[in-house]
């Protein structure tokens, strides 16, 4: 019997922010429409779809792939704002945007099951750790490398993909990578590419 992977999601379009399954993403929610989105999620299934917009318009088209996040921590502030933490559950492909009366956007999406090996080979692991050290040194970041070395392969790769200062197109390419090994290889290429620039030259990956 086939499993219906279609679902309805309230979505939070946010450029430069990607979420991966089993990873966590802290967010500060202040716009009224997204406060309403959080209230809606808390009163239903606690889920929000994180997806990047393709442009900076008021109602921009969305990229076709995002990630479902479940609210696992919430702090309601006195002025109506929220601090929340999302835990990634599953990537999704957007099938269509729904016509809704809510202030926030909603979509119909198909959940994507990741069934690939969550482990890297020794050379792949060594390569990404080595390039991460070089990249951090060039950017002037202070990193607890002992803690990094204790991360499993999935947490290492997806953690870098979430926090590295790549442009939205590069972030989207990482989210859409078919498996962990492909994502790790792309991260190495991106760190080499972006590491050659000081961040002020406007260089982007298109």
Q: Directed axis angle between helix 122-139 and helix 153-163, to 10°?
A: 30
- Alpha carbon separation from 67 to 25, 111, 147, 187 (Å, rounded): 11, 9, 26, 19
- Give the mean pLDDT of 95-123: 91
179 in a structural domain: yes
User: Both 135 and 101 in a single domain?
Assistant: no
- Give the mean pLDDT of 123-139: 93
Q: Which residue has the tokens 């979509």?
A: 107
User: Both 107 and 73 in a single domain?
Assistant: yes
Joined together, the tokens standing for residue 170 give: 């590069």
pLDDT value at 206 more than 50: no
Taking only the tens place, the pLDDT of each residue in 52-82 is 999 888 789 999 999 999 999 999 999 999 9
User: Both 23 and 108 in a single domain?
Assistant: yes
76 in a structural domain: yes
User: Both 107 and 130 in a single domain?
Assistant: no
Domain extent, residue 160, equals: 122-194
User: Both 21 and 99 in a single domain?
Assistant: yes
CA-nearest of 147, 152, 67, 159 to 118 is 152
pLDDT value at 199 more than 70: no
Q: Are strands 106-112 and 82-97 parallel, antiparallel or unpaired?
A: antiparallel
Banded model confidence at residue 3, pLDDT cuts 50, 70, 90: low
Contact call for residues 39 and 171 (beta carbons, < 8 A) = no
Number of domains forming the structure of the chain: 2
175 in a structural domain: yes
Q: What is the pLDDT of residue 58?
A: 78
201 in a structural domain: no
Predicted TM-score (pTM) of the model is: 0.89
* 52 contacts: CB under 8 Å, gap ≥ 6: 13, 14, 15, 16, 17, 18, 62, 63, 66, 168, 171, 172
User: Both 13 and 92 in a single domain?
Assistant: yes
206 in a structural domain: no
- Give the mean pLDDT of 84-96: 97
Number of H helices and E strands in the chain, helices first, is 6, 6
Taking only the tens place, the pLDDT of each residue in 133-151 is 999 998 888 889 999 999 9
- Alpha carbon separation from 66 to 50, 95, 126, 155 (Å, rounded): 6, 11, 29, 18
């Amino acid at each position: 019997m086939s499993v219906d992977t279609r679902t309805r999601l309230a979505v939070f379009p946010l450029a430069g922010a990607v979420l991966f399954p089993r990873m966590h993403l802290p967010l500060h929610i202040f716009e009224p429409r997204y406060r309403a989105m959080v209230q809606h999620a808390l009163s239903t299934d606690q889920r929000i779809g994180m997806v990047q917009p393709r442009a900076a318009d008021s109602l921009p088209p969305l990229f076709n792939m995002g990630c479902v996040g479940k609210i696992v921590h919430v702090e309601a502030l006195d002025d109506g704002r929220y601090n929340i933490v999302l835990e990634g559950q599953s990537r999704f492909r957007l099938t269509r945007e729904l016509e809704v009366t809510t202030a926030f956007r909603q979509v119909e999406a198909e959940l994507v099951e990741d069934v690939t090996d969550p482990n890297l080979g020794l050379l792949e692991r060594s390569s990404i750790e080595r390039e991460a050290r070089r990249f951090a040194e060039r950017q002037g970041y202070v990193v607890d490398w002992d803690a990094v070395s204790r991360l499993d392969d999935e947490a290492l790769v997806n953690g870098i993909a979430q926090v590295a200062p790549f442009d939205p197109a590069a972030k989207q390419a990482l989210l859409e990578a078919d498996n962990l090994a492909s994502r790790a290889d792309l991260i190495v290429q991106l760190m080499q590419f972006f590491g050659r620039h000081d961040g002020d030259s406007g260089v982007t990956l298109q």
